Amino acid sequence: MKLVISEGTAFYIGNEYADIIPGKENGLYYKDTRYVSKYILKLKNKKPDLLSAKQIDYYSSLHYLTNSGKGLPKDSIGIVRSRYVGKGLHEDIDITSYSDNKLELDLSLEIDCDFADIFEVKSEEIFKKGSIEKNSSEEERKIEYVYKRGNFLRKTSIEFVTSQPIQIRNNIVSFHFSIEPKQSWHLCIIFTLGTEEGTEPTKYT
């Protein structure tokens, strides 16, 4: 199922799991450029099971997931992904344990940015003449993708707001954490978009 949320010239096309699966038109767009082309969540290296998903408003959506039962007793974890699109994207991920035991969990987010313009996406022929650079800092909990072609520049900055240490390997951001019985873990992720004129201030209605 395709789910679309938008605000002004920014829009997000993903699936009911709140993931961006590479291919076709899926992605986070702003002013006719796709700033994020892949965004996939896994728990203990497994895709969660879907419970429900719905559009809350034209600019926001809510997704309810649970663990698949591989590596953990099925339905022992509740995952809520809530997001808002504006001149960027804000996502909150809340994981709640329904287990009577302390759980050790691994969460991963696979992210990529191709900076394709909307006409390339529609034609399914993406060829970039410029170069894409990636900079990351585990200490600052941040990844930045920058596309340059002459004076033309597009940038996606992704900040992971948590006190939890993170690990960044290639395009995968990983978190290892524990949850006490009946407790929750929270992660906030902020996507900020930029051009050669500077970074767009985030705006969520």
Q: What is the pLDDT of residues 141-188, one digit of tens each?
A: 999 999 998 888 999 999 999 988 999 998 999 999 999 999 999 999
Domains of the chain: 2-199 (2.70.98.40)
Question: So what's the pLDDT on residue 109?
Answer: 98
Angstrom distances, CA of residue 99 to CA of 72, 74, 185: 10, 10, 14
pLDDT surpassing 90 at residue 196:
no
pLDDT surpassing 80 at residue 197:
no
pLDDT tier for residue 200 given thresholds of 50, 70 and 90: low
Angstrom distances, CA of residue 176 to CA of 44, 63, 106, 112, 179: 9, 22, 5, 21, 10
Model pLDDT for residues 32-45, shown as the tens digit of each residue: 899 999 999 999 89
